[in-house]
Structure 1
């Protein structure tokens, strides 16, 4: 089968590998679609993703995939041929290590009932199986990849302890930032202050529930936010992955306020300056949501989707056939994909 790899020289190419092998508690799926992640995928390509040293390359990319079951292991109870399932992955194959491998023609998912019956003490596997969820027929199989981001975001909101009537500043209105804004609005968080440098993204943020949207390059941004929240805000969220946002957030915090870093920065060190922060404040990194917690967020996300409170299409700007995947990543590098980009395979 074909898969997208990034080589040690950080160049992308399509490689040919064997179809993945699945065990008795797993199923083989034909990949239908896979989302392009502006954070993880881009940093893996550039060699700046924490935990992936140069000796782990070349890597198979893709961690936001959706696949349709075509074969099942003999102990599988909860999956059947034709099911549409979130988060199929591909293990290392030949010279290629796995960075989840979702940009492949085939992948593997685990069956939760079978795993709980036959491997209940393998907590990592149980957590992964909980997140590899069967989707209902009314979900579009290409747009479905956005559900991965939605679940990650909701599980992170819970981790950050963002609650009703809390005040939040959101730095960055890409697909992740917009998802945070919509969910925070649905959860009764207010005011929500959205910051970005692109007016079209600020307009979308307003439509999704931001109470105020401002250009983050405004030199008076701190004073303007303080005029809205004189005591400071409860949370400042970095939904981009730029280390300097941490220092920019300091004068915005109220006492016991928190800087919440969801975006993954390519820099893993910085000069931290809390001279303008309150005496008591917190810094919370949540850059790799747990699959168990992601699975626990699934029912709420699906309830919002079914009720029409959220629409997957609001967060998607581009869909490419697999044959154009290299072009898609060139456009990502040029920042020509404003929201979520998706790679579509023949279903």
Structure 2
């Protein structure tokens, strides 16, 4: 099969490797689609925690969707033909030699685990979120389900009170998803911060009560005009020390700065001289797959109620043959929303 690999110098290449092996508790999956995520970009720059340069080259991709083509003898939760979420390719020295894995979903095939085939203490974490896509969901756009589940589970993890005010920094797919889902959950005071008028409008379209362009507006002045005592929460959906430091002067006493995702650096210089005396900093760097799986039902309900349209989150589709072009577009900030890589199926 072909797979997308990043070398230690950040170069992307498509290479051929063997189709992955699977055991009696697993199923082989042929890839249908995989979304490009900010995590991929961070790994390409060798800035993602847990992936030091000595582990490169790495197979990339973690937002995959595929069709089950073969099943192990103990598998009961999946059948051939099922569309499923999160097929991965793990490191395998026998199969791939020194080639490492950053989940490896930008491959023509992947593997999923059937959690019902394992003893409870032995269930791989990914198995809790490797679930079947219902037949009424477009299999290509189904990759958006992964972001929706991750974000919804993170909102629940942060335990945000919907009656409190929140400022969201970021206008990429993750930030948009936070705003959309919080709006559906009944949050009444959501302020979005973008870096262009176009992105500002996207935040408003997805449920922000107000949105500001940080390149044209004094954010502190705007927020403090609306909330003289500061806001309860600031959510950093980008992952930078700059945003965290800016958030210090926006929160109220005992306010909370929420950080989603793995920051670009493992160390930060924080200045809380302008923060209130009492405040919290809360990181969610890697959503729990168990919590992600438990969020699936609510996401599907919103879709079937017409409250979520998966295509609203997507701006670009690229075939796997053009995956290098897709990443060039992405890294040059020419993708407005989500970019999805498609495979023949």
TM-score (norm 2): 0.96
- Quote how far apart the aligned CAs of 1:219 are: 4.9
Q: Is the 8 Å Cα contact of residues 49 and 262 (structure 2) preserved in structure 1?
A: no
SS in 2 for 1:147: helix
Q: Report deviation, 1:12.
A: 0.6
Shift of 1:130: 1.6
Report the CA distance between 1:149 and its aligned residue.
Answer: 0.6
Contact 1:195-1:215 within 8 A present in 2 as well: yes
Number of aligned residue pairs: give it: 341
Distance 2:327 2:249 in 1: 37
Aligned residue number for residue 306 of structure 2: 308
Q: Report matched runs for 1:1-347 at 5 Å.
A: 1-37=1-37, 39-92=38-91, 93-115=96-118, 119-123=119-123, 125=124, 127-347=125-345
The 2-side partners of 1:188 and 1:254 are apart by 22
Contact 1:168/1:190 (<8 A) preserved: no
Partners of 2:77 and 2:167 lie apart in 1 by: 41
Aligned partner of residue 270 in structure 2, secondary structure: coil
**For 2:262 and 2:316, how far apart are their aligned partners in 1?**
22
Give the drift of 1:94.
2.1
Does structure 1 conserve the Cα–Cα contact (< 8 Å) formed by 2:253 and 2:277?
A: yes
Q: Say if 1:17 and 1:94, in contact at 8 Å, map to a contact too.
A: no
Paired with 1:94 and 1:264, the residues of 2 have a C-alpha distance of 28
SS of equivalent to 1:34: strand
Instruction: For 2:265 and 2:21, locate their aligned partners in 1 and report how far apart those are by CA, in whole Å.
Output: 37
Task: Please state whether the residue corresponding to 1:85 is helix, strand or coil.
Answer: strand
SS of aligned partner of 2:35: strand
Q: In the alignment, is the contact (CA less than 8 A) between 2:196 and 2:215 conserved in 1?
A: no
Contact 1:162 1:189 (8 Å CA) reproduced: no
Q: Which runs of 5+ in 2 are unaligned?
A: none
Q: For 1:85-133, what per-residue CA distance to the aligned partner results, in whole angstroms no more than 9, with x for missing partners?
A: 0000011222311110000000001112212xxx22125x1x3212001
Give, in whole Å, the separation in 2 of the partners of 1:7 and 1:232. Answer: 45
- Pairwise CA distance, 1:263: 4.0
Distance in 2 (CA, whole Å) between partners of 1:190 and 1:246 is 23
SS of 2:120's partner is: coil
Unmatched runs of 5 consecutive residues or more in structure 1: none
Q: Is the 8 A contact 1:236 1:249 kept in 2?
A: yes
SS in 2 for 1:113: helix
Deviation >6 Å, runs of 4+ = none
CA distance in 2, matches of 1:223, 1:9: 42
> 1-side partners of 2:257 and 2:105: how far apart?
32
Three-state SS of the structure 2 residue aligned to 1:236 is: strand
